[in-house]
Structures are given as C-alpha cells and as structure tokens.
Structure 1
Amino acid sequence: MLTVEKRSRQIVGKVAAQAAARPLLPSGLWFHDDVRNNFYYASYLHAAASDPDIRVRFDREQAKETAAAVLGRVLELQDRREGSETYGHWPLGLGDEPEAAEPNPLPVELMGSLMLYFFERCGESLPRELREAFETALKAVYDSRFYDRPLREYGHHEAKYTAAKLLFGQFYGDAELLEDGRRSLKAMLKRLNERGMHEYGSQPWFWHWVQAFTCARLLLDDADIAEDLNRMLDYLWSQRSLHYIGGAWAGPHARGLTADAPKDRNVAFDYLQFGDFRLPPELVRAEYAGFLYYEAPEEIRIAAMDRLVPVEVKKKILKPREDGTDRELHSYTYLTDAYAAGGMWERSEEFDNEQHRWDVTLPLSYELGSAANQAYFIHPGQGYAEGDLRHESPYAKILPDRGAILALYPVPEGEDPTIVGVLPKGEWIREERALFGQAGGAYLAVYLRHAYEAEEAEDRVNVRSAGPLGAVVIEAASLEEAESLDADDLEGFADLMRDRAPVFAEDGRSVRYRSLHSRRLELSLGDNGEAEARIDGKDAEFGDYVL
C-alpha cells in the first residue's frame, strides 16, 4: 500500500491534471456552476506545479500563472461593498455574467477557511499582487462575521462556523473570537456524544465537517483546542468507519449527489485515509482532500477495512423537528468483505427529497471500473428525472435483515405505480420475474412481484417494473457463502435461489421470504397502512439500536 504522502500527491497530481486539461472560459474561470470549484482546481494546479515530487505533463511555470490568474479572478468576485449584508461573501452559481451574480451565504462557509489554509501554506510562493489580494479577501471574510451564529441545529453549517471562529480568531489575534470557537467546539462535541449525528450518511455534508475541523487542527497551535479537535475528528472517522466497505459508503443517506449514487465516486477522502482501493481515473468532488489529512486511530482504520467477520451496524438517529422535538429513525447496515446491505426503516423528508433509503453496496476494491456499485429500487417522487434515482416517493416499506432486503410499494390508486431500479454490471441470468447475477465478489438474487424490463446501459443495468402494489426482494451472498451452500458458479447460485423464491401475497399487501441465513422474514401492510415487519415470527424491534 502506498504511503499517505504518496496518496496525497496522487490526488493533487490527478486533480491538477484535470485542471490543466480544462480550457478556461472567456471569464478567466473554469466553472460557472459553482465558484468553489475554481478555487479548488487552482489550488491543486499551483500545488502540483510547485512540487518537484509530483510528475506532471504540463509546463509548470505556465500552470502557476494559470492558477494565479484563476485565484485572482475568484477573489475579485467577493462582495466588498461597504455596508452590504453579504459583505465578504461570494456568489455560488455564476451564470453567464459572473460579475453580476448575486452573493450567496454558502461559499464562504468552507471556502473561507480553506483560503486561509492555502494562504498559510502557499502564500510565500504566490506573486506579491496575489498575496495582497488574499490578505484583502481574508480580512473581508473576518470582518463579515458570517460565522457569528448561535448553535441550533448542530449540523454541517455550525461545524463550519465553529472551525472558522477558531481559524480566524487565531489568525487575527482575536482572543474573544477564539474563545467563542473553543466554547462552540466543546458544545458540539457534547451534543454529538449525547445525541449522535442526525446528518446520517450524507457525503457532501460529512466531508465538510471533516475538512473544516481538519483545517483547524492543522493550523491551530493551542494545545487544549487541538485536543478537542482530535476528539472531534476521531468521532467523525469512527462514524465513517461504521459504513465503510472498500472505498464505498454503505447504508442509508440523508442526502446524496449524483457522485454518490448509484456509483460511489466521491472517494478522495477515503482513499487518502484508507488507500485500500484503486483511485479512479477522474476524481469528482475532491474538494480539499489532497491537502487535509488527519490520521484516524489505528483501531478505527482496521475496523473499517477488516470485514472478514460480518458486522451489523444498528444506529438510532434523533432527527430534530421544527417544533423542537425529535423523530427517531433507525438505520440498519450489514457489512461483509464482499457486499453490504441495509437501509433506513423509516421514510424521512430530507433536503431536496434526497433520502437514499436502502441498497446493496459492493466495494470499489473489487475493480468494478466505472460501473455502478449499488443495487436498489425506488418509486419515483418529487425531483425525479430519468436516470437519476435519488428522489423517491414516500410509498415504500422495507425490511432489511443481513444480506436481504424486502420492499413493498403501496402506491395509491390514481398514481403511476411503476418502480425503477438499478443493478451493477456483471453476468446476469434473466427470468420472467427474477434476475440472478454476479458482480465483483458477490452474487445477487432479485425477485419482483410483477414482470420487468431490463436495459443494459454503459455503467449499469436499468430495471423497470409496472403493476399495482409492486414489491421487490433482493439478497446478496459472497462467493464463499454461496460455495458453502454447494453453489459453485452463477448457474449454481441461480438454481439455489430459484427454490427460495419469496411468496408475494395476491393482494400485494405482504411478502414472505426465507433468507440464506435461514431467517423467516415477513413484511406486510397493517390495516392503517403502516408496515409490520417480523423476523422468525417476532416483531422487529429497535431495543439494541444505539446513538
């Protein structure tokens, strides 16, 4: 395995190459969709061009000039209008005319702290005019007081505010601000230890937690604060390790971007920490992963990478409501070295209707290439678009247990009941209402209540099944598990699973299935429309789910 230093240089070199190969727009920027990407790419290009240990295929001096020019353009877009409510902020989406884009409160939250990190680490190597531009921009960020917010939701926004208080408090010798950051950090730690994280499995938000606090840890020199930052980062990486499988993020997600499903592509942070899978040809949403490294404790890294003994992760999520009360959610994930399976028992209305409810996840370490590594179905809901399976309706009831997941879709009459799904590329045997496949080191059995259509795409198999009250059962097994049941190849696995087909009730209100673990699973709809789940004849209970 490569050292962390070499992995860091790999990430820096790869993103820099992407930047060097990307033509600049007439505005002098690479991106108009998100101003932050210009700052990230320029940072990587400057770092790679300045590091003789990173092999590059572009002219180093020209690359430094390009990076400096883009950084200068980004800094120019900051709101410097005296008295403006968005003083010190940047636009987010730049549109056709970046100079006319309205400032947005989001970019400065993380980019402000990362700019301070870049200036501290690389400032001396920048042209004098650019150094002065950074000094002006950072002072405007500090004066904006964007971070001066009370702790309310204890989520990713407050994490970034807290880190900014610490960073700018130290940088500008503001003892009062530094102390405010210290108090906020202790309060957030206390909250996490008592209640856990309610932003479950959200890579975009989770990595903002990691970046903000890693940035603070690397720059701050106060021993007491550093100790609390160590505690915070150890907590974050311990949570990450619970759902880690060969570069992938198994289990349910509060939100996800197209880089998160049905293919885990937001992998730079995991690669730097664990390094147990191959870095993909192109990095997506690397943000500042190549610059910010905090080594998680050895036991956390070992636990994440050692899945020879399967584990069940049962998490209780306290989801705050607007009225100040909590809703209890229950996340279940079963992880082996060949696959993971699980989901959130309860439907939850999340940001942009992006709750990723359940799936079977395959590790990226099995060299699936660019193909999807997740298998799941949804009934399309608000925000759904063809090919984008991140937005589902509330009409799903599930029962996850070890390698199996049962799902019912009681779509009301009058609405299109069609369910859509995705399966990883591999070798598939297709039958009228079932598919049996091998992808990576796992077999998958997929049973549907109604007939289906399956279309082979470049990176996945798309499945569509129409009919009222649809239902799906999926079970995964490793090659070794199947071999122990005398299934030596895919055909043998299909023979084994044909005899175990689930029983879908004629009225579509229940399904029964005996899993490969000899567990009798039953999912049904009660008279009130709520799900009733039983395992081996007993009601599924959440007594052993932990925060």
Structure 2
Amino acid sequence: MSSFEQRQQEIVRRVALQAQQQPVMSSGLWFHHDIRDNFYYAAYLFAASADPGCPVPFDKEVTLASSSQMLLKVLKLQDRDPESETYGHWPLYLDPVPKQAKPSALPVELMGSLMAFFYRDHRDSMSPPLQAAFEAAFEHIYRSRFYEKEEPGFTHHDAKYTAAKLIFGQMFRDYALVEDGHRSLVRMLRHVRENGMAEYGALPWFWHWIQAFTAAWELIDDVDVNRDLGDMLDYLWHERSLYYLKGAWVGPHAQAWPHDVPQDANVLFDYVQFGDFPLPVDMPRTEFAGFLFYEAPEDVRRNALDRSMPTEVRKRSRTDGQEGKPAVIHRYAYITEDYAAGGVWERVREPDNEQHRWDISLPLTNSSSINQAFFFHPVALHAEEDPRHESDIAEVMFHQNAVLALYPVPEGDEVAVHGMLPKGEWLQEPNALFGRVERAYIAVHLPQPVELEERSDRWKAIAPAGPFAVAVEAIGAAEAERLCIGSLAEFAAVMREHAPTFAPDAAGVVYRSLAADAELELSAGPDGSFRALVGGEPVSFAKYEA
C-alpha cells in the first residue's frame, strides 16, 4: 500500500468511525442541514465496512447494512418526475421534513459525479436493491440535462457540468455529450492557462474543481479526453502547490468559508497529496478525499514540500469586470519554511463578501490555534466574530516578509478594526505587538494601542474606533538565529529599532523592514486613491503572470 493509499485509508477509517457514532434522527437520516453529508458519511461507512483490510472497532456486517439503508434514503429523495422543473435533483436542506424539502440545483452538481465514481468502485458489495437505486438515480440525472447551460463559464459550477457531461455521456453511450464535455474541458483549460483562476484561495470551490475532474479522469475511457483531464489536473495541482505550506493555503482567499479563515481546516486533499502535516481531529468537509486521488507531477509535489528557500509568487487573474469589480486582480505570496505572507492587492466584493485580503500564515502543526494573523475592518458592528466579512475599507501593500495595511475608517463609523492572532507567546506594548508562534516571530507595529482579548484558539485585538493602520513583519527561526535572536524579548528589542512612521489619522505608513533592502511606503489620498512605493519607486505588476 502506497503512502497516498495509507493516508486515504486513515481518512476513510476516521470518517467511518464518526458516521458509526452519529445519532440517527427521526427521519432516519443523520443530518438535515445538508443532504450531501448523509451521502458522504454513508459512503465512508460503507467503504470501511466492505474493506476487509480497514481496521475499525465495529461489526462490519451491521454497519454495511445500516450504511446501505442510509444511501437508499438519500437516493429516494431525488425528484424523479420528468415533468418537474427540478427533475433529477435532490433537496439541499432537509428541515423540517426531508420528504417535503424543496429540490435544489446544488447537490447533483457535485454529488452526482461522485455517486458515479463511488458506484463503480463499490457496486460489487452492494445489495441488488441498492444497485438498482443507484442505476435509477443515474438515469434520472442523465435525462435531467442539468449539465447543459446556455452560457457556460469558467467557475466551479462549469467544472462540475463539464465533468458530468463526460461521465454520464460515457455511462449512457451518448458520445455527442462526451464530445460536448470534451470541448468544454479544452475551453476551460485554455482559459485558466491564459487568464488564471478567478476562483482562488483555500475554499470549497477549488476542491470542487479537483473532485469533478478527478472523478472524470478515473471514469473516462477515451484516451484523448483522459489526456486533457490529466493536463487540467496537473494545472490545478500546480496552482495549489504555489500557495502550499504544510497544509496551509497562504496568500489571498476568495469566497472563503468559516473553515478557511482564520484557520485552514479544509485540508483533506492536501493531506493525501502531501502528507507533511498531522491529520486534524476536526474535518469540516469530508467530501471524497478518502476515495479520489490523482498524483500530482513530481516537480509540483517537490516544489510544494521543499520550502527551504524563500519563494515569491506573483499571479494575476481576470474577473468578469462587472459591478465595479477590477478587470484584473493581482495576488502575492512570500513563502518560507516557517511562515508565509501575502494577499490580494485589489478589493473584490464577492457574492457573500468573503474576500480575505491578507495574512501571515503558519504551517498546520497546532490544531488548537488558528494559523493566520491579520487585521480587518468588519463589514458591520459585531461582524468580527466571522472575520471573513470585511468592509471595503482597506488598502494593502506586500513586500516579501512585510505587509502594510491602511484602514481609513470615516468619521462617525463605530465599527473598529479587529485583529486575529494565533495562540503563542505575545508581548504587548503601546505601539506594537511582538509574538513568537511555533517557529515564527511576528511584529505588529501600531499607530496607537489596541485591546487584547484571549480566546480559546486565538488572541483578538480591538483597535480604537476610527482610522487605523498596521505594519506587520515576520521572520522564521533560522533567520532569527542568523540575527542572534533567541527569545521573544530579543526579537522585540531588535524590532523596536524598526518602528515605522505613521501619518496623522493613519493615512500612511513608511517602514524599513528587518531585511532593510528598501523603504516601503503606503499612503491613501483624500480622493480614495492610494500609493505604494518600494525604495521610492511605484510598485510594478509587470512580473505578475496568469
């Protein structure tokens, strides 16, 4: 058994144990919040029960039967009325009565292709009624034509539509549909190569690309289609490797979910592919990481795993440019073996306002603490408990291990800037916070004091209401040793000598980092414009590539 397979079996075992211990609701299901979790957990429990080599402390014959019943209950909730507008779909949210829940377009997008993959690998262990239920569900999915869209684009939805065309086209010998899916695949691959991914960051959507195309790659027999699927997966894993640091997704985040910010927790596919961090106890999105696998090219894996030399990543992506969005966004990350710094230069207001502008990210070594340090202006009062929802009030600047950020909060705005800091050893001073977390030292320079509150998994910083700014710099253990820094007190003593100059009302900051290769300046004008200078020269985006 390969190391990849061992890690997958560990995920299967762990999720199966959770499923076996999950109380059954009066409806006969485990979950009402999302039908997909019932399918995922039942699939893991079924797989563990059917695999003689999977070590689990329960009666496999009993759990094979119970997981089969759970799968049947999920399959029966499909809308099987050909005259219905939601034909072939499942409900997403099941409260209060699952049988009466309204079907949604979302579950079949991801769950449909994964069902096909699961059925291929496990049908020999299924009872005849369960086999028949899966085959009937596939026919309704195929006949629903949910995957045919008038204006296909380049999002995770389109990735799943494309994979479904290939999978169900082959399943039902509809070779015109397979050809249509192949054309969509080639078009999507060409687009992301030329324009970058508009959906970036540690989010479920990226993993939906991975799952959809890996399922298709596993199932499709056509050599030409399979080659292009491999090229797409190589591209996706290369994109992932650029921002990888021991389980963390560093740099900018788009459309983040609570398990993305302020702690990277959607990590199961990373765990299987790279395996250089401990499998966390909490697994908020199990999906199919325990089953699907495509081995990334050796050079991609090597680049992701070897962070012995600092690396700068500069990428650009095109957006649709609508509703005031910038036509192009620029992403930056500076990655070392102990930490990473970076984010996105341009503000993009996303559907649920979930763009995460910047942070200092740490490797996933301590599941009891968040692994991201950042400041942000919440979108509204009391919104700081969900730090994904930032307002438009921020200007940022990135240069290697330093981040400058301005928050020109207008007069009368009662919402204060907040900070999220990982647990560790922190020293608070009137105009600075100095921290030592794992193998990284972090300096946070401030124009005025902040209030610190200790939480179970983080330190929360609260700034006074009004304009604010920060200058943040991180160094790793090896760099600290070269500078003869062996303690937090010594780090603080050195960094006090590098205190920045803040303009009145925090409208600008000038900072010379510890690396001292250039003076950094970020300033905001009264008209909303801002200026970012390195060594007196404006920041250039000429080196940013798709």
Q: Same fold (TM over 0.5)?
A: yes
Separation in 2, partners of 1:426, 1:414: 35
Does the residue aligned with 2:121 lie in a helix, a strand or coil?
Answer: helix
Given that residues 417 and 470 in structure 1 are in contact (C-alpha distance below 8 angstroms), is that contact kept between their aligned partners in structure 2?
A: no
Aligned twin of 1:204: 204
- 409, 412, 416: which one pairs with 2:407? 409
Question: What is the CA-CA distance between 1:117 and the residue it aligns to?
Answer: 0.9
One-letter code of the match for 2:152? R
Aligned twin of 2:65: 65
Given that residues 262 and 389 in structure 1 are in contact (C-alpha distance below 8 angstroms), is that contact kept between their aligned partners in structure 2?
A: yes
Unmatched 5+ residue regions in structure 2? none
Aligned twin of 1:428: 426
CA separation of 1:386 and 1:398: change in aligned 2, threshold 3 A: closer
Given that residues 14 and 283 in structure 1 are in contact (C-alpha distance below 8 angstroms), is that contact kept between their aligned partners in structure 2?
A: no
Given that residues 380 and 415 in structure 2 are in contact (C-alpha distance below 8 angstroms), is that contact kept between their aligned partners in structure 1?
A: no
Question: What is the CA-CA distance between 1:53 and the residue it aligns to?
Answer: 1.7
Given that residues 384 and 392 in structure 1 are in contact (C-alpha distance below 8 angstroms), is that contact kept between their aligned partners in structure 2?
A: no
Does the residue aligned with 2:356 lie in a helix, a strand or coil?
Answer: coil
One-letter code of the match for 1:472? V
One-letter code of the match for 2:422? P
CA separation of 1:384 and 1:178: change in aligned 2, threshold 3 A: farther
Given that residues 353 and 383 in structure 1 are in contact (C-alpha distance below 8 angstroms), is that contact kept between their aligned partners in structure 2?
A: no
Given that residues 330 and 344 in structure 2 are in contact (C-alpha distance below 8 angstroms), is that contact kept between their aligned partners in structure 1?
A: yes
Question: What is the CA-CA distance between 1:202 and the residue it aligns to?
Answer: 4.4
Separation in 1, partners of 2:425, 2:68: 49
Separation in 2, partners of 1:163, 1:417: 44
1:179 corresponds to 2:173: no
Q: How many residues align?
A: 545
Given that residues 396 and 404 in structure 2 are in contact (C-alpha distance below 8 angstroms), is that contact kept between their aligned partners in structure 1?
A: yes
Aligned twin of 1:419: 417
Separation in 1, partners of 2:145, 2:541: 43
Alignment of 1:309-328 (within 5 A): 309-322=309-322, 327-328=327-328
Question: What is the CA-CA distance between 1:238 and the residue it aligns to?
Answer: 0.3
Deviations 1:14-59 (A, max 9, x none): 1111111111111111111111111000000000111122111222
Alignment of 1:172-251 (within 5 A): 172-251=172-251
Alignment of 1:435-454 (within 5 A): 435-454=433-452
Does the residue aligned with 1:184 lie in a helix, a strand or coil?
Answer: helix
One-letter code of the match for 1:344? V
Question: What is the CA-CA distance between 1:82 and the residue it aligns to?
Answer: 2.9
Question: What is the CA-CA distance between 1:414 and the residue it aligns to?
Answer: 2.0
Separation in 2, partners of 1:224, 1:391: 43
Given that residues 151 and 158 in structure 1 are in contact (C-alpha distance below 8 angstroms), is that contact kept between their aligned partners in structure 2?
A: no
Paired-residue identity, %:
51
Deviations 1:242-283 (A, max 9, x none): 000011100111111111111111110001100111111232
Deviations 1:61-104 (A, max 9, x none): 12112211111111111111230011000111111111111111
Given that residues 384 and 418 in structure 2 are in contact (C-alpha distance below 8 angstroms), is that contact kept between their aligned partners in structure 1?
A: no
One-letter code of the match for 1:377? F
Aligned twin of 1:274: 274
Does the residue aligned with 2:385 lie in a helix, a strand or coil?
Answer: coil
Separation in 1, partners of 2:425, 2:231: 45
Given that residues 433 and 448 in structure 1 are in contact (C-alpha distance below 8 angstroms), is that contact kept between their aligned partners in structure 2?
A: yes
1:485 corresponds to 2:487: no
Separation in 2, partners of 1:19, 1:536: 57
Question: What is the CA-CA distance between 1:506 and the residue it aligns to?
Answer: 2.2
CA separation of 1:382 and 1:467: change in aligned 2, threshold 3 A: closer
Separation in 1, partners of 2:505, 2:290: 54
CA separation of 1:76 and 1:383: change in aligned 2, threshold 3 A: farther
Aligned twin of 1:522: 521
Question: What is the CA-CA distance between 1:335 and the residue it aligns to?
Answer: 0.4
Aligned twin of 2:290: 290
Separation in 2, partners of 1:142, 1:190: 27
Deviations 1:345-391 (A, max 9, x none): 11111120000111000011xx2232100001110016973421110
Question: What is the CA-CA distance between 1:486 and the residue it aligns to?
Answer: 2.2
One-letter code of the match for 2:540? E
CA separation of 1:10 and 1:39: change in aligned 2, threshold 3 A: same
CA separation of 1:384 and 1:55: change in aligned 2, threshold 3 A: farther
Given that residues 381 and 415 in structure 2 are in contact (C-alpha distance below 8 angstroms), is that contact kept between their aligned partners in structure 1?
A: no
Separation in 1, partners of 2:82, 2:328: 46
Alignment of 1:142-153 (within 5 A): 142-153=142-153
Question: What is the CA-CA distance between 1:133 and the residue it aligns to?
Answer: 1.0
Given that residues 254 and 356 in structure 2 are in contact (C-alpha distance below 8 angstroms), is that contact kept between their aligned partners in structure 1?
A: yes
Unmatched 5+ residue regions in structure 1? none
Separation in 2, partners of 1:79, 1:98: 12
CA separation of 1:87 and 1:382: change in aligned 2, threshold 3 A: farther
1:49 corresponds to 2:49: yes
Deviates more, 1:445-454 or 1:103-112: 445-454
One-letter code of the match for 2:395? K
Aligned twin of 1:126: 126
Aligned twin of 2:385: 387
1:509 corresponds to 2:504: no
Aligned CA RMSD, in angstroms, stands at: 1.6
Alignment of 1:353-372 (within 5 A): 353-364=353-364, 367-372=365-370
Given that residues 326 and 348 in structure 2 are in contact (C-alpha distance below 8 angstroms), is that contact kept between their aligned partners in structure 1?
A: no
Separation in 1, partners of 2:48, 2:339: 36
Separation in 1, partners of 2:537, 2:430: 32
Question: What is the CA-CA distance between 1:433 and the residue it aligns to?
Answer: 2.5
Question: What is the CA-CA distance between 1:473 and the residue it aligns to?
Answer: 1.4
TM-score, structure 1 normalization: 0.97
Given that residues 266 and 283 in structure 2 are in contact (C-alpha distance below 8 angstroms), is that contact kept between their aligned partners in structure 1?
A: yes
Question: What is the CA-CA distance between 1:484 and the residue it aligns to?
Answer: 1.8
CA separation of 1:92 and 1:152: change in aligned 2, threshold 3 A: same
Question: What is the CA-CA distance between 1:326 and the residue it aligns to?
Answer: 6.6
Question: What is the CA-CA distance between 1:2 and the residue it aligns to?
Answer: 7.0
Aligned twin of 2:340: 340
Separation in 2, partners of 1:100, 1:507: 56
Aligned twin of 2:532: 533
CA separation of 1:331 and 1:111: change in aligned 2, threshold 3 A: same
TM-score, structure 2 normalization: 0.97
